[in-house]
Structure formats: C-alpha cells, structure tokens
Amino acid sequence: MIKIITFIISLIVLPCIVSAQTYTVKKGDNLWQIARKFDVSVSDIKKANNLKNNKLQVGMKLEIPQKTDKNVKKSDSNEPSYHIVKSGETLFRIAKKYNMSVEELKSLNGLSSNKISKGQKLIVKTSNKPTENISLRENEKIPLLASTKLDIEEKTEEIEEIKASEDLSQMSITERILLFAKKMLHLPYRFGGNSFNGLDCSFFVKKVYSMVGIELPRSAREQFTLGVPVKKDELQPGDLVFFRTYAKFPSHVGIYLGDNLFIHASTRSKKVTIDSLETPYYLSRYIGAKRILGIDKESLEKAIEELKNKQIN
C-alpha cells in the first residue's frame, strides 16, 4: 500500500520538478525583460521569488513560474480562426468585428499595407469580451475594461520597468512615445480621469509625453494651441490629432501611429484603443494636427508659460 501511495505522489510531483526553470540574472537585466523572455508576467516572477520590489542583483537565481492550466485554457479559447474577406470590407471593419486593432490584424497576417482583396483568407483572434459592453447608454455604469486592478498594477509595473531599461536609450523619442502609448492600451476611460484606474484623452496624451520628458498642458483645448500645424497628408508618428466632439473647441485628442491610425483614450470604447482617422465618426470631427516633437524644448516651455499667464489674466 505504501509503495502504491509513493508511486502516485511521484507521478504528481515529478513533472513539476522536471518543468521547473531557473534564470541567472545578468548585467543589464530587469524584470520586464526577463518576463518578456519567458512569456510570463512581472508579478508572477515576483510572487515565485518572494520579491518585494523590482531590484535585481547580478548572479541572482530566479525561479521562472510555469504557465498555469488557467492560462493554457485562456490561450486555447483564443486560438486563431479565419475570416474570408467579403466585398466592401476593410481591415478596420474586420478588426472591429473580432475586437482587435488593425495593427494586430496586420501583424498576425504579415500585411505591410491596409490593402485586402475579396476572397482573401485572414487569420483573426476570437474575443472573450462581451460585445454588449462596448456600446453603452448614457446613464449606464462604465465597466472596468482593463479587467481587474491587478491588470492595471501589472501595466504600471511593466511601464516602470521599461522606463528603467537600458534598451530605451537606443530608441528615438518617437519610438519611445509609441511604445509607452501602446503599453497603455485597454486602460479604462473616465472623463476627467488622472490615473491608470481611469483616464481621459488629454491626460493620456499628457502622460505619454511626460514619459519622454515633455510636459504638456492638461486639456485638449490647451494642447491644440502648441506645436506646429501639420497637414493631414503629412502626418508623422507621434503627432497629435484633434477633434471636435462634444464642444465647438478642440475637445478630443490622440497620438498618430501611422497608416491613418491613432491611439487615444476613447469615450466610445471606454478604454485606450486604436482607431482609424477614416472612421466616419472621426473623419467628420477631425479639425487638425500639431507636431510637438522636434520643437526646441525652451520654446515649448515658453509657450506653455504664456498660456498659463493668459489663463491667470
């Protein structure tokens, strides 16, 4: 009987021992890089090694947690499926249908442009999110679409790790802005919000730019007074794009990504998301763009100071 029990225990324990991984910290490593390398979260590594903060020492041995059955199940439920392009369809419409961004759809299918043809077979992702939450009546409670508080904490930690990474010094200021902006995808929208638990369009832009050392005013209306005007056909990644939504003055702002796409904290999607400038809603409300990058920092600070003085007077 004892032998049988021992045999059963060995069947349970042995796979865990075999599948365990350890990683020795090297010079320049940080938790974000290691988590990305092994496709696990920063918080999971910290829990597995009882880490109270993000500090690492060269030579430290970290236990890399294995993906749980829960994670595997989640991945299985998101197995790629296919979509056959129909007449009149666009990448934007197809992406919206499967609750993904145009950028994700293009990346998944190795597309270099937005051109698609009837009958083309595209790989798409299925979504676990209920579509009824995307469109809300005016008086309905806004759901927390960033899933849970833990997700927001993980995003915050990941962004902090990126900011501390030596890899950042190898990137241009535009690449940094786009990186930080995309890392904030799916954070929940809240009108007047000033934190990752809920933020609005102008705070999103202000926060992203502050991460590269550029301080902008708080509102979209104020941000529209800065920078150099840019024609729509001359837009470059990192430019700010403005819209009139609920008011006659500039009341909505986002960051241009390229390929007619921009990232913004959306009142319509209730989260930070990526949309097309060609979407009828935004196309009809577009009022212009401003370029902040490349402007002398001293001149920008002077313009902001003048703006503040006007408000006081």
Residues annotated as catalytic are: 201, 252, 264
Q: Is 236 in contact with 257 (CB distance < 8 Å)?
A: no
Element (H, E) at 312: helix 297-312
Q: Is 228 in contact with 293 (CB distance < 8 Å)?
A: no
Q: Is 272 in contact with 189 (CB distance < 8 Å)?
A: yes
**Strand partners for 208:** none
φ, ψ for residue 98, nearest 5 deg: -105, 15
The Cα–Cα gap between 88 and 79 comes to 26
**Strand partners for 195:** 198
For 96-108, the DSSP string reads HHTT--HHHHHHH
| Neighbour-count burial of 55, counting CB atoms closer than 10 A to its CB (0-12 exposed, 13-18 middle, 19+ buried) | exposed
Give 137's DSSP letter.
-
Element (H, E) at 271: strand 271-276
Sheet with 286-291: strands ordered across: 228-230, 286-291, 240-243, 252-258, 261-266, 271-276
φ, ψ for residue 295, nearest 5 deg: -85, 140
- Of 298, 291, 130, 141, the C-alpha closest to 226 is 291
Structure tokens, 95: 């992406």
**Strand partners for 7:** none
CA 208-149-160 angle, to 5 degrees, is 35
